[in-house]
Amino acid sequence: DAKTTQPPSMDCAEGRAANLPCNHSTISGNEYVYWYRQIHSQGPQYIIHGLKNNETNEMASLIITEDRKSSTLILPHATLRDTAVYYCIVRGTSGTYKYIFGTGTRLKVLA
Amino acid sequence: GAVVSQHPSRVICKSGTSVKIECRSLDFQATTMFWYRQFPKQSLMLMATSNEGSKATYEQGVEKDKFLINHASLTLSTLTVTSAHPEDSSFYICSARDRAQRGNTEAFFGQGTRLTVV
């Protein structure tokens, strides 16, 4: 599975949009981009995933560049409860479907 | 989303004893489950892939005789830490994917088990 690169930490003001970038320059054609977050001492929570089109759900939006080498997770109106470590993972659709976690981005939402 | 439940959420055991952690998919069947370990301020590290009805596949560097995995049914996988030592103290997390879904669907994670070996 492709390796991902994320900034180690980011701050965001409460109520503002949080934009979390992820580089996955070695992604292959059948690999999806998944985003999870982990709040302290809990298991990871699924947020969103996509292949090449932009995706939106009730939690976030996912913007994938046309060449698919990077993506951005957008939390439109960050709240204090969004403070967490956010993981970007690239995974294929065959084989064992295992996730390999990178170091993630520690997002801190400030009041 | 689908629910994956781990039990216990916290356990303290004495050095040299064994501890079993259960991972259950509550509303779906999972042919494959995954076990991760996470040390403080670090990312999740995949330990092994648990396969229903067959042997688990361990990641490089993970001792199969120390971390015994059993996946006896489509809704239950267990991880047994044998002869636990203080360095095994960690946060253990499982995940599972609904086998009825297509290959691009997400996996769901349990809430984790905090193991402390004293």
The pLDDT of residue B72 is above 90: no
Average pLDDT over residues B98-113: 86
Question: What's the angle, vertex CA A17, arms to CA A6 and CA A79, rounded to 5?
Answer: 95
Chain B residues with CB-CB distance to A102 below 8 A: 43
Contact criterion met (CB below 8 Å) for A71 and A19: no
Residue of chain B whose Cα is closest to the Cα of A98? B34
Mean pLDDT of A65-86: 97
At A1 the pLDDT is 63
Chain A: give the shortest CA distance to residue B95, in Å: 9
pLDDT over 80 (residue A2) = no
Tens digits of residue pLDDT in B73-82: 999 999 999 9
> Which pLDDT belongs to residue A105?
98
Q: Indicate the average pLDDT of chain A.
A: 93
Residues of B with CB under 8 A from a CB of A: 1, 4, 6, 32, 34, 36, 43-46, 49, 57, 91, 93, 95, 97, 102-104, 106-112, 114
d(CA A89, CA B71): 25
Whether B95 contacts B112, CB under 8 Å: no
Cα dist. B72→A36, A50, A97, B12, B80 in Å?
28, 33, 20, 25, 14
Q: Do B43 and A43 touch (CB under 8 A)?
A: no
How does pLDDT run across B78-97, given as a tens digit for each residue? 999 999 999 999 999 999 98
Q: What's the CA angle centered on A75, arms A20 and B25, to 5 degrees? A: 95
Q: What is the pLDDT of residues B18-60, one digit of tens each?
A: 999 999 999 999 989 999 999 999 999 999 999 888 899 999 9
Is residue A5 over pLDDT 80?
Answer: yes
Sort out which chain A residues have CB atoms less than 8 A from B102's CB and list them. 93
By CA distance, what is B104's nearest residue in A?
Answer: A93
pLDDT at residue B60, rounded to an integer: 94
